[in-house]
Amino acid sequence: MENLYGGEFDRLLKEDPDFSALTNIPKKKTNVPNIKELNNGRFTAPPQWALDKDLAGAVRGLQDVGVIESADMFCDLIQQGRHHRLLKTPNPTLFKEGPDSLRFWQALVLLWSIGLQEKMENPFNKKMKTVAGEAFSKAPGIKALPRSAEKAIEYVVEKDMNGHNEQVCAGLHVIDGLRCSFMVDTVAENIAVGRRLEEQFPVARTKNSHQLDNRSYADRKYNLVFRTTIENIGEVAFLCEVQILMRRYIEIKKIGHLLYEFQR
């Protein structure tokens, strides 16, 4: 695998005149004041019902974003941790500590966030296709609740969140729920897609692992602010993650996955 990635690196370095421009793009750049500000609550107000521990408000809020459709559905959710769409495997422990617990409200905020992003997904994908429709590669859907919940718990510690209001909104720090990728064949296309993204969306953070000291897998990631209007809700804005992938690197990565599966 090292030889394959290294070979592609050497080819780009030798044959592609734009490769030096790609490697000169900073490894990481952020346009927010600090890591705590890198969250969806900066752009769309967190649900007040979660801050107030208002259970009736939570029911209305989850109905508004399409997460629950009936009282029975809500009861199934909090009593059995069951949701036909967002919890493929029921998780009875998710809400077992009750409405006096932090975890209870964190999970509801995450569900609200996922429901809102599901409503944003179609306009998001349509807008991204206008950036470079021929390169638009993958829209894997909104990140699932179980993994988002794990990340939210990690962020409480990682970002040193204190107090109920910060910790209950930890799920809003999961900023790769709304996501897609572009796959390109040349470095010039890679740079062009990135430039179009920067022209059309506010950029919160960028990462570029195409560096001269990296002879392994590499890609580019953007955390952008995507804003749209949702019927009966109004204007909302969430952070999203957009990847720009070089086709040959992805082909090599797939070979690696096959080798890993064979080894297992």
Q: Residue 260 has what pLDDT?
A: 65
CA–CA dist 136, 92 (Å, integer): 38
Q: Are 143 and 189 in contact (CB under 8 A)?
A: no
169-217 confidence digits (pLDDT tens): 999 999 999 999 999 999 999 999 999 999 999 999 999 999 999 999 9
- Cα gap 29→14, rounded to integer Å: 27
Strands 28-30, 203-208: parallel, antiparallel or unpaired by DSSP?
Answer: antiparallel
What residues does 180 pair with on adjacent strands? 242
The burial of 16, by beta-carbon neighbours within 10 Å (0-12 exposed, 13-18 middle, 19 or more buried), is given as middle
pLDDT tens for each residue of 244-263: 999 999 999 988 767 767 77
> Is the separation of the CB atoms in 172 and 236 below 8 Å?
no
Ranges of residues in the chain with a pLDDT under 70 are 257, 260
Q: Tokens 């022209």 appear where?
A: 199
- Cβ count within 10 A of residue 190: 27
Q: Which two tokens stand for residue 217?
A: 């897998």
Task: State in words which class domain 2-48+120-263 has.
Answer: alpha beta
